[in-house]
Chains A and B, each alone.
Chain A
Amino acid sequence: MDFTVGVLLGTFLLSIAALFIFIWSMAQGLFGSGTAAATEIFAVNELGAVEDPAATPEQQSGLQREMSGPGVTAPRMDLAETEARSRADQSTSLVVGVALTLAVIWLVLASFAGLISSIKLHEPDWWVQYEWLTFGRIRPIHLNLVAYGWCSLAGIGVAIWLIPRLLKTELVGAKYALIGGALWSIGVFAGTVAIATGHSDGLEWLEYPWQIDILLVIGGALVGLPLWLTLLQRKVKHLYVSVWYIGAGLLWFPALFLIANVPGLHFGVQQATMNWWFGHNVLGLWFTPIGLAASYYFIPKVLGKPIHSYNLSLLGFWSLAFFYSQVGGHHLIGGPVPSWLVTISIVQSMMMVIPVFAVAVNQHMTVLGNFRALAYSPTLRFIVLGAMMYTAASVQGSLEALRAVNTVTHFTHYTIAHAHLGLYGFFSMVMFGSIYFIMPRVMNWEWPYPKLISLHFWLVLIGFAIYFIWLSIGGWLQGLAMLDANTTFMQSVKLTLPYLQARSIGGGLMTLGHLVFAAHFFAMGWKFGPKRLGATLLSQQLLQRMFGKGVAA
C-alpha cells in the first residue's frame, strides 16, 4: 500500500471511529444532565445564587428574580466558604491586575494599528513617507499586538484568576506568573519594534525574530507554572472543564511556539506547512481553550446553575484537541504541498463540527430559557454573544475548508472577516465579559459608570457587525471575480473598495468602543465614581464582618 494512501486511510478510520464513539455515547445516555463535577465551581448552598460583580444592585436583583422567580431569596453561601473564595480572589489580584492592565493598553494600540491598516487599503497614498507605517509593517504590527499583546495577556490574566477559584485554594507561585507576564510583555514590545524597523522573520503569526521569541517561550512557561503548583494544592475532587482547557492551553502554547521558531530548522514548502500548523494551532490550541474555559466558568456562575452536560464537555475537549490540531493544512489548498496533507486537514476541519456541536449544545442549553438574564448581566451579554460567535466562526471555518468554497475565499478579504469572527467575535467578546466580572473583585471597587459598559457593548457590536458583514460580502465577490478569467485582476481590486471603506467605518466604531472600555478600566483603576461596595464584595455577611454593621446599605 502506498504510504500516503495509508496515512489518509488511517486518519479517515480514526475520524470515523471518533464519530462512532460519539454516537455510541449519545445512545448510552452519557450526555445526560450534570454530574457532581459540573457543580464543582459552586460552593455548598450556592446553586441558584446569581453572581455578576459588573451588575448594578438593580441589575443584580433583576438577574436573581429572572433565575429564581419572584419572591424567592437567593440561597446563602456558607461563611467559611465565602471567606475562602475571597482569599482565593485576593491571592491573584496583583498578577491579574497587572496582566489585564497591560492587555488593555495593547488592545488600544492594536486597534489603532488595525484602523490605520484598514484605511491604508483604500487610501494608498496616505502616510506613505514613514517606513514603519507602511501597510506591510503596520498590518503585522496589528496582528501581533492583537494576538500576543491583547488576546494572550487578557487570556493569561483571566486564566490565572480562574485557577484558584476552580481549585478552591489560593494561588501558589504568583511571582512566577508575574515574572512570566513581564517577560512576555517585553517580548511583545520588542517584537513590535522589530517589525516596525523591518526585522520581521517574514512568516505570518511568527514575525518576531527568534531572539525575542525566547522571551515568549520562557514567559509562557513561567505563566503556566502557578497552575501546576496550585493543582498540587487543590481542594476539589473533580477537575472542572475549565481546568482542562487552561491546563492544556498553557502546555500547548510554549511547545507550539518553540517548535515553530527554532532558527534554521524549517525550509521552503515544509516551512509553509509548519507555518499553518502553527497559525491554526495558536488559534485552536491557545486562544480557543482559554476562551472556552472562561465561558464554561462564567455562564454557569453568573446564572447560578450548572452547565447542561458534563460528559458532553468531556467529548468536546478531547475531540477539539484531536481534530483542531490537524486542520492547519487547509490554508494551503491549491498550493505546492503534498495533497494528502491538505486532504487530512479538510477532513479534520469538517470533523470540528463535533467539538463545536458539543460546546454549543452545552453552553446554549445552559442559557436557554433564561435569555432575559442577558439584559441584567453585562458579563453574560458579552460572553453569551461570544459563545454564539464561536459556534458561527467554527461552522464557517469548517465550510471554508471545503475545496469548492475555499477556491473562492482563499486569498480574499473573506478570510480576514472570518479570522475576526473568531478572534474578535468570539475570543475578545468573552474576554471583555470576563474582565467586567473579574476587575471588581481584583480592585474591590465597582465599575464606576455602568452606562459605559452598555456603550462599549453597542459600539463594538455595531462596529463589528458592519466590519464582518461588508467585508465578507466584498471578499466573496472579490473571489468570484478572480476566478472569472474574463474579469481583469484590477476589476477584482476595484470592486472591493466600498467594502474596504465600510470595514474602516466598522473598525473605527470598534476602536471607539475600545477607548470607552479603556477609559472606564482606568477610571476604575484610579477609583473614580461612587463606592458601592454592596455588590462588589462576596456577601453581606462578609461585608458586615469586615466593616461592621451599617456599611452595607
Chain B
Amino acid sequence: MSAGKKSFWEMDELRLVTGAMVILGGATGLLVVMPYLLLENVRPPVGLKPYTSDQLIGRQSYIANGCVYCHSQQPRDIKQAPDATRGWGRASVAADYAYDTPHLLGTMRTGPDLLNIGARQPSKDWQLGHLYQPRAYTPGSIMPSYPYLFELRQGAAKAGETVVNLPPGLTQPGQVVVAKPEALALVSYLLSLDRTYPALPPLPSMPVAPTPDKDKP
C-alpha cells in the first residue's frame, strides 16, 4: 500500500480473465480438440457391425440402469494387467468404439469388463437369468438383481412372451418369470458386445518386394 510502484506480478481483472481463459483454452485444445482431430477419421474395423435398433434400445437400458458404474469396457494390454487371461479380450483400440456414443469405457471393475461379454457368455438364457438373480449363477456376486425388468406371474406366459429359464428354487411351482422387452433388449445389447476380431486389418498376403526408393513408403 505504501509505494506507488506496481509489482510486475500484480493481478488485475484483465490479467485474471485473459490468463484464466488462455490456460483453459490450451488445456481444451490438448485434451479435447486434438483427440477430436486425430480420431474423427478413424474407420470402423471390418469385423465390427453397427448396432441394430434393438441393440441400441438395450444400450440405452444399460445406460439408464447405470451398468457403467461397475463394469468397464476397455480391456488393458497383457503387459499391464492379466485382462486377456481372464477372458476379457485383447487390449481395445479406438476403432472398436466407432459406433459407441455415448462412450461407456467405465472407471470401475466392481464387476468384470464387458467389452467381450457376448463372446464370453453367448447364452441368452444365462444372461436373462443372471439379470433376474445374479447369485443363482455366480455365488457371492454383489451385482444387484433386477426384478423390475421381469414379471413374476402365476400361470403360463402368453404367446410371443419370453419365459426365463431359471435354475430350480427361484420360483414357486406354477410361477413363471417373463422377461419384459427392456430385459430382452438389454440382453441383445450384451450379446452384441464382441470385439474378438483382430485389432489391425489383416496384412496383404502378397509379400511386397523392397523398393529401392526409400523416400516412398
Complex: A413 Cα to B91 Cα, angstroms: 23
A84 interface residue, CB < 8 Å from B?
no
Complex: A37 Cα to B93 Cα, angstroms: 52
Q: Given that A271-B102, A335-B105, A411-B109 are contacting pairs, would A121 and B20 also be in contact in the complex, using a CB cutoff of 8 Å?
A: no
Among residues 22 to 48 in chain A, which have CB atoms less than 8 Å away from a CB atom of chain B?
A: 35-37, 39
Chain B hits for A124, CB < 8 A: 134-135, 141-145
A189 interface residue, CB < 8 Å from B?
no
Set B10, B69, B105, B106: member contacting A135, Cβ < 8 A: B69
B85 interface residue, CB < 8 Å from A?
yes
Among residues 162 to 212 in chain B, which have CB atoms less than 8 Å away from a CB atom of chain A?
A: none
B21 interface residue, CB < 8 Å from A?
yes
B98 interface residue, CB < 8 Å from A?
yes
Q: Mark B124-167, 1 if CB is under 8 A from A, else 0.
A: 00000000001100101111111110000000000000000000
Complex: A407 Cα to B105 Cα, angstroms: 16
B217 interface residue, CB < 8 Å from A?
no
Q: Mark A274-288, 1 if CB is under 8 A from B, else 0.
A: 111100010001000
Q: Is the CB of B21 within 8 A of A332?
A: no
Complex: A341 Cα to B23 Cα, angstroms: 17
B46 interface residue, CB < 8 Å from A?
no
Chain A hits for B147, CB < 8 A: 128-129
Q: Is the CB of B66 within 8 A of A326?
A: no
The B interface is mostly helix, strand or loop, or mixed, namely loop
Q: Given that A272-B105, A277-B31, A493-B142 are contacting pairs, would A135 and B16 also be in contact in the complex, using a CB cutoff of 8 Å?
A: no
Complex: A413 Cα to B94 Cα, angstroms: 26
A458 interface residue, CB < 8 Å from B?
no
Chain B hits for A497, CB < 8 A: 142
**Stretch from A198-206, A459-467, A503-511, A516-524 contacting the other chain:** A198-206
Q: Is the CB of B77 within 8 A of A268?
A: no
Set A198, A270, A483: member contacting B82, Cβ < 8 A: A483
Complex: A544 Cα to B27 Cα, angstroms: 54
Q: Mark B109-124, 1 if CB is under 8 A from A, else 0.
A: 1111000000000000
Say how far B28's CB is from chain A's closest CB, in angstroms: 7
Q: Is the CB of B32 within 8 A of A134?
A: no
Q: Is the CB of B11 within 8 A of A314?
A: yes
Q: Given that A325-B23, A415-B107 are contacting pairs, would A341 and B31 also be in contact in the complex, using a CB cutoff of 8 Å?
A: yes
Q: Mark A324-335, 1 if CB is under 8 A from B, else 0.
A: 011011011011
Chain B hits for A259, CB < 8 A: 28, 32
Say how far A394's CB is from chain B's closest CB, in angstroms: 18
Q: Is the CB of A136 within 8 A of B10?
A: no
Q: Is the CB of A135 within 8 A of B144?
A: yes
Chain A hits for B109, CB < 8 A: 411-412, 482
Chain B hits for A321, CB < 8 A: 19-20, 23-24
Number of interface residues of B (CB under 8 A): 79
Set A120, A198, A201, A485: member contacting B65, Cβ < 8 A: A198
Set A128, A268, A272, A336: member contacting B146, Cβ < 8 A: A128
Q: Is the CB of A275 within 8 A of B144?
A: no
Among residues 3 to 47 in chain B, which have CB atoms less than 8 Å away from a CB atom of chain A?
A: 7, 9-13, 16-17, 19-21, 23-24, 26-28, 30-32, 34-36, 38-40, 42
B53 interface residue, CB < 8 Å from A?
no
Chain A hits for B97, CB < 8 A: 268-269, 272, 336
Among residues 468 to 486 in chain A, which have CB atoms less than 8 Å away from a CB atom of chain B?
A: 482-485
Q: Given that A268-B101, A336-B94, A412-B109 are contacting pairs, would A134 and B69 also be in contact in the complex, using a CB cutoff of 8 Å?
A: no
Say how far B121's CB is from chain A's closest CB, in angstroms: 13
Given A270-B36, A334-B77, 20 more pairs with CB closer than 8 A: A36-B1, A121-B142, A124-B144, A135-B70, A204-B107, A239-B13, A251-B20, A268-B103, A270-B32, A272-B103, A277-B28, A285-B24, A326-B30, A329-B31, A335-B74, A335-B76, A336-B97, A412-B109, A493-B110, A493-B111
- Interface residues in chain B, defined as those with a beta carbon under 8 Å from any beta carbon in chain A: 1-2, 7, 9-13, 16-17, 19-21, 23-24, 26-28, 30-32, 34-36, 38-40, 42, 61, 63-70, 72, 74, 76-77, 80-82, 85-86, 91-94, 96-112, 134-135, 138, 140-148
In the complex, 8 of the A-B residue pairs with CB atoms within 8 angstroms, ordered by the A residue number, are A36-B1, A237-B1, A244-B16, A275-B103, A336-B74, A482-B81, A490-B138, A490-B141
- 5 closest A-B pairs by CB: A136-B66, A198-B64, A325-B27, A485-B82, A202-B63
- Interface residues in chain A, defined as those with a beta carbon under 8 Å from any beta carbon in chain B: 7, 11, 35-37, 39, 120-122, 124-125, 128-131, 134-137, 139-140, 198-204, 228, 231, 237-239, 243-244, 247-248, 251-252, 255-256, 259, 266-277, 281, 285, 311, 314, 318, 321-322, 325-326, 328-329, 331-332, 334-338, 341, 344-345, 407, 410-413, 415, 482-485, 489-490, 493-494, 497
